[in-house]
């Protein structure tokens, strides 16, 4: 018996309402449910739990959530139209033998680093 895929990721946020809007409306993640200061989204079968009510968030401490996408440039443009500001536009990270790895980085309202990534064939 061993570990399998991730079932849930917890992320602290200062405002559940603001995070719910950003992850649900701006990023378009399907909301599963909300219970008090906890809001849950579906990330392709992995639950993202946003835990609100934190006074201070220590953002940028080595954690980044990478969202797999297709047509990274189009996805980035759609997110920018919804007010998401990219720190680093989608760009080539590495050329692999069978694909190119592309990523673009942005932050949520609490400063958590997020990214979109595409493995272009």
Per-domain boundaries in the chain: 1-56, 58-121
Torsion-angle region of 87 (φ positive above 0: left; ψ -120 to 50: alpha; else: beta):
alpha
Residue 5 has pLDDT above 90, yes or no: no
From the candidate CATH numbers 3.20.20.70, 3.30.720.110, 3.40.190.10, 3.50.50.60, the one assigned to the domain spanning 58-121 = 3.30.720.110
Banded model confidence at residue 60, pLDDT cuts 50, 70, 90: low
Instruction: Find out whether 74 and 80 touch, Cβ atoms under 8 Å.
Output: no
Tally of CB atoms within 10 A around 22: 21
Give 1-56's CATH code, choosing from 2.60.40.1180, 3.10.20.30, 3.50.50.60, 3.10.180.10: 3.10.180.10
pLDDT value for 105? 94
**Can you give the pTM of this predicted structure?**
0.83
């Amino acid at each position: 018996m061993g570990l399998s895929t991730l079932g849930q990721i917890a992320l602290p946020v200062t405002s559940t309402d603001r995070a719910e809007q950003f992850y649900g409306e701006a990023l378009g993640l399907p909301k599963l449910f909300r219970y008090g200061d906890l809001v849950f989204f579906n990330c392709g079968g992995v639950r993202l739990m946003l835990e609100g009510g934190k006074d201070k968030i220590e953002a940028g401490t080595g954690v980044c959530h990478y969202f797999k996408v297709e047509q990274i440039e189009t996805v980035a443009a759609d997110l920018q139209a919804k007010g998401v500001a990219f720190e680093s536009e989608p760009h080539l990270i590495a050329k692999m033998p069978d694909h190119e790895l592309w990523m673009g980085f942005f932050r949520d309202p609490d400063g958590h680093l997020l990214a979109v990534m595409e493995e272009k064939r």
